[in-house]
């Protein structure tokens, strides 16, 4: 059973939490903890040896912590996700393959695309595909239709697998810290559109990919993980894009693993990640 905790720091927190678990007959298998000294915040991820009465354990732990504590005991072992796509297949293909072989750590409920290009590959894996086109619609109407499709599946997370649309602040607020995006650059460098073209023009020697939670500040949400690879002067734009796609796939896969295993804590637009 996994227990995740975030709260104001204080003397004796580890001892107090350990005491609660010991009194309940739990053995701690592993414990990762971190204190942000500047913010005086305490973060912990604890694995215990059995699953028993999570609600009462959560209440008991909460009582020995500061009033602002967030405690989750035995989070859902397999999250439900909805994947949003446009036309690029590389990230979606990886997600569908991992889902098929039960190595994703989550269950893909459906794929929603604003173009029909990825319908065929999605349906080959037996996953529902919904086409919600943005064309000839206001942003408000498009997002309303998108929301209706998503809510029908009650997902824990939305995965933007190269979903090349900017979502409104209202839409994002409905899924606060529940939308994971893959951006094709090493943020904060080269935000917005065409980062590979920007990188080529700048003559960089490293290109990257960044998986992050989506906020209403474009490409500035809390970073979950980043991947980089080396490039050189011989790379043309097509080479950067090809290499970058492998980077994007790896970064998104790693981010999903970390989030689905409840290893990521968010505070003040930063993350604490227990790998």
Task: Of 45-54, 192-201, 239-248, 266-275, give the lowest mean pLDDT range.
Answer: 192-201
For the chain, the domains span 2-73, 79-273
The total number of residues shown for the chain amounts to: 275
Fold for domain 79-273? Answer: Rossmann fold (3.40.50)
| Encoded tokens for 220 | 């500035």
Angle in degrees, CA 117, 121, 126, rounded to 5: 130
53 is catalytic: no
Which 3 state secondary structure label does DSSP give 115? coil
What pTM does this model have? 0.90
Q: Of 219, 239, 262, 268, which residue is the catalytic one?
A: 219
Percentage of the chain exceeding pLDDT 90: 75
The reported pLDDT for the residue numbered 258 is 97
Bridging pattern class, strands 223-230 and 129-131 = unpaired
Q: What confidence tens digit (pLDDT) does each residue in 195-225 have? A: 777 777 777 777 888 999 999 887 789 999 9
Q: Which fold has domain 2-73?
A: Alpha-Beta Plaits (3.30.70)
Tokens in use for 123?
């349906």
pLDDT over 70 for what percent of the chain? Answer: 96
Strand pairing class (206-213; 223-230) = antiparallel
Mean pLDDT, rounded, of the chain: 91
pLDDT of 238 reads 81
Whether the per-residue pLDDT at 109 is higher than 90: the answer is yes
């Amino acid at each position: 059973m996994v227990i995740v905790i975030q709260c104001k720091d204080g003397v004796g927190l580890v001892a107090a939490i350990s005491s609660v678990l010991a009194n309940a007959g739990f053995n701690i298998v592993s414990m990762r903890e971190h204190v942000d000294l500047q913010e005086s915040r305490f973060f912990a991820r604890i694995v215990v040896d059995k699953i028993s009465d999570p609600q009462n354990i959560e209440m008991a732990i909460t009582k020995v912590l500061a009033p602002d504590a967030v405690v989750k005991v035995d989070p859902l072992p397999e999250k439900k996700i909805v994947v949003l796509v446009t036309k690029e297949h590389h990230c979606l293909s990886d997600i569908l393959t991992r889902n098929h072989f039960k190595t994703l750590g989550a269950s893909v409920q459906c794929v929603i695309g604003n173009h029909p290009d990825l319908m065929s590959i999605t349906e080959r894996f037996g996953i529902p595909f919904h086409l919600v086109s943005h064309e000839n619609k206001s942003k408000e109407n498009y997002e309303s239709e998108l929301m209706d499709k998503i809510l029908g599946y009650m997902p824990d997370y939305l995965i933007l697998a190269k979903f090349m649309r900017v979502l409104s602040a209202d839409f994002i607020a409905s899924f606060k810290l529940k939308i994971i995006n893959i951006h094709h650059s090493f943020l904060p460098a080269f935000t917005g559109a065409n980062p590979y073209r920007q990188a080529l023009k700048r003559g960089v020697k490293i290109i990257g990919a960044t998986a992050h939670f989506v906020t209403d500040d474009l490409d500035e949400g809390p970073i979950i993980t980043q991947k980089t690879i080396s490039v050189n002067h011989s790379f043309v734009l097509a080479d950067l894009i090809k290499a970058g796609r492998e980077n994007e796939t790896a970064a998104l896969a790693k981010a999903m693993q970390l989030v689905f295993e409840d290893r990521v804590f968010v505070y003040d637009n930063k993350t604490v990640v227990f790998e």
